[in-house]
């Protein structure tokens, strides 16, 4: 399940220029990540900036021996104040990249990327990082920005930022950074990498915790007073993963890893927390890392074409459903189904239809979590709301108590709606209090 590698010499953060592992359903123009580590000279800070550029974001030109694309990466670092306002430019760096492909099909692959890294020396503090990619052939530019909190490493014990890795080769001492901080559910596992810096040999306790964000957060129970019920104190949710390990660190640099299986984590947004303590329980360092688990594939979600068509009723028009249901042969039915989704493919010309994948992921999730008696989860009120609008921003759960019917409130701040589900039977048979499009669902 997990492993910890310590006492190794400095790990070279390098990896191959192209990866054939499809990670996420949504593919941005490029990904960027930045990690504070201790420099080789002692307590100074080095910022490692990683970029991951999809081949499809580049324009390849024909050459005598294949195709190549050229692009530049520019990094600007701005100091910010306590409120996050930019104070001024403190560091700039630019470098060029050339990507080679043996044939045209490779240039169009949606699973290949060019990876690069550059290092900057920065004083500890708050910064804003701006990274720009410019394609030489098309002159297109793409820009990403992210805030930075650059660490200091002058304490007796300190730690680097956390880095998500696709894998870590202990024998070769090579790490393969993830960069996008997104894990596909088709992966068996993923690895967290970081470094511990100590001024002497000692034993430490490392506490690991993974929390899912935006699903079970609670907000003030504003509905209970409206229903004439007393308010209740909300409780903190249990983490999705938690473990503690004791380790011995040597004087100097100590690389460390934790490898987790992907399967226990459903799709969604997570935060990885790591805390270092002395044997006496004194916290000496801590770090956090946001990451995403994204669902991949359709094989397990569509069991048969008839069910897949029936499950379209939340988004398909009646004429589309009739065309699929009334097809005279299985081939015609499948072609009508395929045509429906081809019209809604956000990335036509690729082998994946991300919108279709997302829809049937929601159906599968609803079936696993909201089923009742004779109904599959997708056919319930909670299933319909989840399929239509996705995961709620907040959920209030009010289990059975004396004088109360169990009920839940799902908040969708992004569309200004909230939906109340009441369990009249007490057996998990939650039904909407008012219809989805009723004006009373507005916040």
pLDDT digits (tens, 9 = 90+) for 78-87: 999 888 888 8
Over residues 348-359, the pLDDT tens digits come to 877 678 888 889
Alpha-carbon distance of 163 to 13, in angstroms, equals: 11
CA angle 125, 126, 130 (to 5 degrees): 125
Alpha-carbon distance of 176 to 157, in angstroms, equals: 26
pTM above the 0.75 mark?
A: no
**Number of other residues whose CB lies within 10 A of the CB of residue 117:** 16
Q: What is the 3-state secondary structure (H, E, C) of 334-374?
A: HHHHHHHHHCCCCCCCCCCCHHHHHHHHHHHHHHHHCCECC
Bridge partners of residue 432, in order along the sequence: 421
Q: Would you say residue 2 has pLDDT above 80?
A: no
Least trusted range by pLDDT, from 67-76, 134-143, 232-241, 362-371:
232-241
Over residues 255-294, the pLDDT tens digits come to 999 999 998 887 778 999 999 999 999 999 999 999 988 7
Q: Which domains does the chain have, with CATH numbers?
A: 31-294 (2.60.40.10)
DSSP 297-347: -STTT---HHHHHHGGGGTS-HHHHHHHHT-SSHHHHHHHHHHHHHTT-SS
Three-class DSSP category at 263:
coil
Query: Cβ(5)–Cβ(168) under 8 Å?
Result: yes
Q: Would you say residue 375 has pLDDT above 90?
A: no
pLDDT of residue 406: 87
Give every CB contact of residue 236 below 8 A, 6+ residues apart in sequence. none
pLDDT of residue 224: 41
Q: Would you say residue 400 has pLDDT above 60?
A: yes
Distances (CA, A) of 77 to 10, 19, 94, 127: 26, 28, 12, 7
Ramachandran class of 306: left when φ > 0, alpha when ψ lies in -120 to 50, beta otherwise: alpha
**pLDDT band for position 427 (cuts 50, 70, 90):** confident
Most confident range, picked from 48-62, 209-223, 338-352, 368-382: 48-62
pLDDT of residue 300: 55
Over residues 168-199, the pLDDT tens digits come to 887 777 888 999 999 987 788 999 999 999 99
Gyration radius of the chain over CA positions: 25
Q: Would you say residue 1 has pLDDT above 90?
A: no
| Helix ranges restricted to H, 7-81 | none
Q: Would you say residue 28 has pLDDT above 70?
A: no
């Amino acid at each position: 399940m997990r492993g910890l590698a310590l006492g190794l010499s400095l790990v070279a953060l390098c990896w191959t220029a192209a990866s054939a592992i499809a990670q996420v359903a949504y593919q941005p123009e490029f990904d960027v990540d930045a990690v504070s580590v201790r420099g080789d000279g002692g307590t100074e800070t080095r910022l490692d900036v990683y970029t991951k550029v999809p081949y499809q974001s580049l324009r390849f030109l024909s050459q005598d021996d294949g195709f190549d694309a050229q692009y530049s990466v520019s990094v600007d670092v701005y100091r910010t104040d306590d409120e996050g306002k930019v104070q001024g430019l403190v560091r700039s760096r630019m470098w060029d990249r050339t990507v080679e492909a043996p044939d045209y099909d490779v240039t169009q692959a949606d699973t290949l990327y060019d990876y690069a890294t550059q290092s900057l020396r920065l004083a500890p503090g708050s910064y804003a990082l701006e990274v720009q990619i410019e394609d030489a052939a098309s002159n297109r530019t793409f820009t990403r920005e992210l805030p930075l909190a650059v660490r200091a490493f002058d304490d007796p014990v300190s730690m680097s930022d956390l880095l998500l890795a696709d894998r870590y080769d202990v024998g070769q001492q090579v790490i393969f950074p993830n960069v996008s901080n997104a894990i596909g559910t088709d992966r068996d596992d993923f690895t967290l990498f970081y470094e511990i810096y100590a001024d002497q040999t000692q034993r430490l306790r490392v506490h690991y915790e993974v929390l899912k964000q935006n699903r079970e957060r609670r907000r003030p129970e504003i509905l209970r007073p409206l229903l004439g019920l007393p308010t209740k104190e909300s409780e903190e949710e249990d983490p999705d993963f938690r473990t503690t390990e004791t380790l011995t660190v040597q004087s100097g640099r100590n690389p460390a890893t934790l490898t987790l299986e992907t399967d226990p984590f459903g799709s969604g947004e997570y935060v990885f927390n790591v805390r270092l303590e002395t044997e006496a329980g004194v916290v000496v360092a801590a770090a956090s890392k946001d990451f995403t688990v994204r669902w991949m594939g359709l094989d397990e979600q569509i069991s048969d074409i008839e069910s897949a068509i029936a499950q379209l009723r939340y988004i398909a028009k009646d004429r589309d459903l009739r065309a699929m249901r009334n097809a005279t042969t299985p081939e015609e039915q499948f072609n009508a189904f395929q045509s429906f989704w081809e019209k809604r493919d956000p990335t036509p010309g690729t082998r994946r239809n991300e919108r279709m994948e997302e829809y049937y992921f929601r159906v599968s999730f609803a079936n696993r979590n909201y089923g009742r008696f004779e109904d599959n989860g997708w056919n319930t009120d909670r299933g319909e709301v989840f399929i239509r609008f996705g995961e709620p921003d907040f959920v209030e759960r009010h289990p059975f108590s004396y004088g109360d019917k169990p009920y839940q409130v799902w908040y969708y701040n992004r569309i200004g709606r909230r939906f109340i589900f009441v369990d009249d039977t007490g057996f998990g048979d939650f039904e909407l209090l008012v219809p989805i499009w009723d004006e009373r669902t507005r916040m």
